[in-house]
Amino acid sequence: MKDPLRSTSETQAPPRPSFELRALFSFRKSGPRLPVACRAAFSIGLPVAIGWAVGDVSAGLMATIGALTSLYASDRPYANRAWVLAGIALSFSVIVTLGVWAQQWPVMAVPLVVVIAMAATFVCHSLRIGPPGAYMFTLACAAATAIPVPVDRVGWLVLGGGTVSWLVHMSGALIAPRGPETSAVAAAAQAVARFAQTSGIGAKDRPRHEAALALHDAWAALVTFQPADGRTDNALTRLRALNRELHIIFAACVSADDSLAATPETLAKRAREIGAETRTLGEGVNDVQVPLGRLRTSHLLLENLTLYSPASGVTMRVGIAVAIAGAIGAALSLERAYWAMAAAVLVLHMGLDWARTLQRGLERTVGTLIGLVLAGAILAVHPTGLWLVATLMCLQFLIEMLVTRNYALAVVFVTCIALVIASDDHALRDPAVLLWARAIDTAIGCGVGLLVHALFGPRGAPVSLHQQIARTLVTAQTALDHVAAADVTSDEALHVRRELQHGIFRLVTSYEANTGGFARDPAIDERMWPTVVATQRLGYKILAACWSIESVGSSSPAHLAREELANVNAALSKLITAVHDGTGPITPHELSDFLKDEIRDLSDSLVPYRSTPARGTR
């Protein structure tokens, strides 16, 4: 099974993100979206249907703001999802109430939207909450500043829509109580099988990283997002055991140990079998040792609560853009200036690099312009009653099916549904006025968002790539001490293992931030890609040793003698200094077989470059 380590000098850096017009006409691969689309369609249709049944369609349309709750937490286990969705539904209710309340003091409208947009962006970016992220919270607040509805009524209507969405979202628990956890483990099994199949070839860096991410997500579902009281059942215990076995298979593939009888084909086959076993869970097993899962919410928030963190940078840009877009709307007396503020947030809130931000702005603008034509046709027909319900459900279904495949096409239907809801079930005497206003507001918002990103966009990661590599290697040294002592399951060891995994993931995001933004010299960071890959290989090898020791005990072949540990630590210390100072390759001490290839490969990959300390790292 031994696979000669392919030098990272042969590893080509991933292409820098670029602006592509063809993305407007192509479809990306996507995971299953049908359950999400059906759930979103019913969540938005039911409040309107209830409003129609009681003779108040306008109230039903207002409640659809709360129905936006359905767009979040789709991958969370149901016990955790219940609390998250309840918090989101309540947040929408409070935000909309504040927006309507601010109508009494028009001068407060823009500052309120700025505060809500910044708070939502910081939380969503810090906790890695994917699309729609902060956008929907900002849109709800901004729209509420222009909705003519009593302040004492609107909060209850929105909360009612959120309650309907909560019930629809949670209905899956009646059919498959452990469905999200099962899906996460099945996805990890597929990723590990792909990695095992490529472990005998040379190009295994990307499959290995994808498998590690999938396993990390699975442990988050199985550990992090489970109730704090530690309650388990037969299905959860069994899924944890299966995922632990997957991680041991992953470790075996990383180690490529000759002492293992299993071939890559055998390991890949077993990983696929585990994926199949998730569909028919048998009897449970005794509780197994599990990792700590994803970093806790409080840790992630505190980690980003610094001036130069990525979340703080995105939050600052969103705040500036919303303030400018709102000021322009007020200066031009735009009737629906909230569209401009929402469009600015949409362009910026994900914290993308310049190329992808420009791409997002173009897709939003083109999709909106085409959507205005379709919206005009729908408004001219003016569907009412159950036809209105069916129209909204179809539009929401199409949005969710398309948003991960072709964003511009999804925006076509986003524009339609927004305008149909904004019409408040009234026939418009002059729809062209509304459509023209939407076009102007979108152009202003996207333009402001792009301008703010161009002026205040990141000039590289807040922690330089050299610094991030050095930090990861320091954590690797600490993890090695636990490997040498065969102490990999104590609380301290589990925290170190999690921090090392977290550091490996951050290497990629740091690299992308330096090469995709307005870095002073992105070519230097591009030459660092082999060092990034070599550091990942070394980190994964140490983590694999931890899993090996955990599975077979202190007799693991990864166990280091004291002298061997000293030599490895000395070599790593030299590498850390070389990386930090930006010097070239080093000559490591005589090393044992464990990590010898990884350390030499890392040394050979070093790019001479005298770096300056990163901001905030002293």
pLDDT digits (tens, 9 = 90+) for 473-497: 999 999 988 888 888 888 898 889 8
pLDDT for residue 597: 82
| Torsion angle defined by CA atoms of residues 601, 604, 606 and 607, in that order, rounded to the nearest 10 degrees | -140
Residue type, 148: P
Specify if 294 maps to a domain: no
Residues 113, 217 within the same domain: no
As a whole number of angstroms, the distance between CA 69 and CA 162 comes to 6
The angle formed by the CA atoms of residues 434, 440 and 441, to the nearest 5 degrees, is 85
DSSP H helices, 21-56, are: 34-53
Specify if 284 maps to a domain: no
Residue from 33, 165, 147 nearest 91 by CA: 165
Residues 41, 62 within the same domain: yes
Task: Identify the residue whose tokens are 């230097």.
Answer: 524
Specify if 39 maps to a domain: yes
Residue from 116, 222, 99 nearest 154 by CA: 99
pLDDT below 50 — which residues of the chain?
Answer: 1-5, 200-202, 258-259, 555-558, 611-618
Q: Among the three residues 456, 484, 518, which one is the final residue of a domain in this structure?
A: 456
Residues 325, 419 within the same domain: yes
Specify if 547 maps to a domain: yes
Residues 415, 306 within the same domain: yes
Specify if 293 maps to a domain: no
Residues 154, 247 within the same domain: no
As a whole number of angstroms, the distance between CA 572 and CA 594 comes to 13
pLDDT for residue 558: 47
Specify if 488 maps to a domain: yes
User: Structure tokens of 522?
Assistant: 């992105």
Residue type, 499: E
Residue from 299, 157, 172, 281 nearest 224 by CA: 299
As a whole number of angstroms, the distance between CA 343 and CA 296 comes to 31
3-state helix, strand, coil in the chain (%, to 5): 70, 0, 30
pLDDT for residue 532: 86
User: Structure tokens of 37?
Assistant: 């689309």
pTM (2 decimals)? Answer: 0.83
Residues 491, 568 within the same domain: yes
Distances (CA, A) of 225 to 73, 84, 180, 498, 551: 11, 10, 11, 16, 24
pLDDT for residue 22: 78
Residues 324, 412 within the same domain: yes
SS3 assignment for 243-308: HHHHHHHHHHHHHCCCCCCCCHHHHHHHHHHHHHHCCCCCCCCCCCCCCCCCCCHHHHHHHHCCCC
DSSP per-residue string spanning 416-446: HHHHHHHTTT---S-HHHHHHHHHHHHHHHH
As a whole number of angstroms, the distance between CA 513 and CA 308 comes to 13
CB atoms inside a 10 Å sphere around CB 259: 8
Q: Among the three residues 407, 433, 456, which one is the final residue of a domain in this structure?
A: 456
Contact 472, 535 (CB under 8 A): yes
Residues 319, 433 within the same domain: yes
Residues 451, 480 within the same domain: no
Specify if 70 maps to a domain: yes
pLDDT tens per residue, range 382-394: 898 999 999 999 9
pLDDT for residue 7: 53
Residues 202, 148 within the same domain: no
As a whole number of angstroms, the distance between CA 501 and CA 526 comes to 22
Domain of 342, in residue numbers: 32-175+299-456
Residues 273, 363 within the same domain: no
pLDDT for residue 509: 78
What DSSP designation does 70 have?
Answer: G
How many folded domains does the chain comprise? 3
Residue type, 279: R
Specify if 27 maps to a domain: no
Residues 169, 188 within the same domain: no
